[in-house]
Structure 1
Amino acid sequence: MKSSYLPGDVQILLKDITGLVEPLPASVREVKIQEGTHYCEMLPLEYEPSHNYMMAYENALQNYAKPTAIAVGVIAEKLYAKKRGNLVLVSLARAGIPIGVLIKRYLFNKYRVQVQHYAISIIRGRGIDKNAMDYILSIHGSETIQFVDGWIGKGAILKQLKEALVDYPDVSSDIAVVSDPANLTDLCGTHEDILIASSCLNATVTGLISRTFLRSDIIGASDFHGAAYYEKLKEQDLSLEFVQTIENEFVYDYSSEMTDIHDIVKGPSVVAKIAEEYGIEDINFIKPGIGEATRVLLRRIPWKIIINEKYKDADELKHIYQLAAEKNVECEISKVDLGNYKVCGIIKKLSDV
């Protein structure tokens, strides 16, 4: 489908459902989700950033472009060492797309390797888009495929991918990510919970496409999963600016070895402690890490934001505080050790309201 990326950056294997589904505000979607409607059967109304929030985004992009660029380079070097030119990038829409674009550009800039890059949908509880997978496998060997995402929160999509690929035993379920504070993969740029500026916005930093959509009255048996294109946001689009800003900070002369020291605590054990301490019955309500906490504030109805005390004054949490203030969401120091996570968002259980 159409996007605002350059034609050579990515081929997006999604059905264009623009105009077929009315986007819903978070207050309506959250009620429906908690009553049993799957999130993929609705489209969220895109958050319109305030002036102050956009200033926080620009600050995040300026201050964290270099660490993001270094982490992308680490991933790209690992993939090149692993597969050389025999590589096909398959980004998980949406958050994985800008990262896939960056890896593709890094490999071309340094090694003059022109890798193919696709974007496909995977949906928690519904699985991967098999039509998109079959399309890619009709062109490329299974050993070439490398999945890409933005970050790992608590590992739900990683688990979903492993389950989905039972039907594709020759395809690796490894995901390359910029940041893995959950300590669930070595195929990452860093285990630090870094601020990836693309996590701060929605469609306007991911090619003007919506979250992916799957509902049988609109998506047929032979269709790709769907998404809408937000033409009306064209004037606010920052997708290429984000990619170009990070690309300008690439470093090409370092080893692919990890350079950061990370806690041995695994993300799922941190999530379990949060659930116990805060009385959360459904761990899907717990969204650890900067990227996930940001998405809770942008797309869901948050109960509270808990902060790792070591990072309470960290610059990379400024946009979190800004969003929380705008939405009147409480921020407090976490009662449990958050490990590598700097922050965690907790969704409000509406039946308790």
Structure 2
Amino acid sequence: FAPRPRLVVLADPCGRAWLAASAEDWLIPSGILGATVSGLVSRSIWAPEPGLHGCVMYPHLAGHDVTMSFIHSIETERARITAPASAQPWTLAQAWALQRRAQSVLDGISTRFSVLNSNRIKPGIAEATRAVMRRVPEQVLVRGRDDPDVQLLMHLSRQANIEVREVGDELGPYRALTVIRSVR
């Protein structure tokens, strides 16, 4: 009998991980900067063969690598904390509540913008921002325009002449969301 793999993440607004530092949607540097804060290793990619995901190395970005600076800033902050909180996985009730709230947002966005393929919806600050940088957005939504963590998204959207709609609590647990344009 093999133990079930457990997903541990920094932020989990949709309650899918076994353990998360937060249920808040916050801007995680690796979500935007990718390999340059991750030891020049990519996010996971789907392997062509069945099995685990793979990754890609980016040695050509070595001149831009800020991984150690990022780690040192985290270690400095961690050292300031005298009593770290004990790790507690979500209870089943907490996970279900987060999942229902997140799914309700996705269902509402799908209906509102006639999205048939859920892969076109990129919830969360990092995913929404990455979608503006790398895809062709149809809609960019934010909870609040003045949120400091969505300022890069706002800036990139202005540069690309993409209107950003402020929708408040309509985003549920998310602070930003991008809908990718359909390629029909």
TM superposition score normalised by structure 2: 0.79
The CA distance in 1 between the partners of 2:141 and 2:82, in whole Å, is 37
Distance 1:224 1:289, change over 3 A: closer
Equivalent runs, 1:1-353 vs 2, <5 Å: 170-185=2-17, 187-211=19-43, 212=45, 214-215=47-48, 226-250=54-78, 251-256=81-86, 265-308=100-143, 311-334=144-167, 337-351=170-184
CA distance in 2, matches of 1:203, 1:327: 24
Task: Determine the C-alpha separation between the residues in 2 that align with 1:248 and 1:326.
Answer: 35
Report how far residue 288 of structure 1 moved.
Answer: 0.8
Query: In structure 2, the residue corresponding to 1:232 is in which secondary structure?
Result: helix
**C-alpha distance 288-225 of structure 1, shift in aligned 2 (>3 A):** closer
Counterpart AA for 1:253: A
Q: Which letter does structure 1 place at the counterpart of 2:175?
A: K
Please state whether the residue corresponding to 1:350 is helix, strand or coil.
coil
CA distance in 2, matches of 1:224, 1:280: 30
Residue 347 of structure 1, CA deviation = 0.9
Contact 1:274 1:336 survives alignment (8 Å):
no
Query: Rg bigger for which structure?
Result: 1
**Whole-angstrom CA distance in 2 between matches of 1:320 and 1:195:** 10
Q: CA deviation at 1:336?
A: 7.2
> What is the distance in 2 between the residues matched to 1:186 and 1:231?
33
One-letter amino acid matched to 1:207: G
* CA–CA distance in structure 2, aligned partners of residues 196 and 267 of structure 1: 19
Q: Quote the offset at 1:213 in angstroms.
A: 5.3
Cα deviation, 1:112-170, whole Å, max 9, x if unaligned, reads xxxxxxxxxxxxxxxxxxxxxxxxxxxxxxxxxxxxxxxxxxxxxxxxxxxxxxxxx63
> How large is the RMSD of aligned CA atoms in angstroms?
2.9
Structure 1 residues 255, 230: CA separation in 2 closer, same or farther (over 3 Å shift)?
Answer: closer
What is the CA-CA distance between 1:273 and the residue it aligns to? 1.0
Residues 326, 298 of structure 1: alpha-carbon distance in 2 compared, 3 angstrom cutoff: same
Q: Work out the CA distance in 1 between the residues paired with 2:73 and 2:101.
A: 32
State, as a whole percentage, how many aligned pairs show the same letter.
30
How has the CA–CA distance of structure 1 residues 177 and 227 changed in structure 2, closer, same or farther, with 3 Å as cutoff? closer
SS in 1 for 2:77: coil
Gapped runs of 5+ residues in structure 1? 1-168
Give the superposition deviation at 1:281. 0.7
TM-score after normalising by structure 1: 0.44
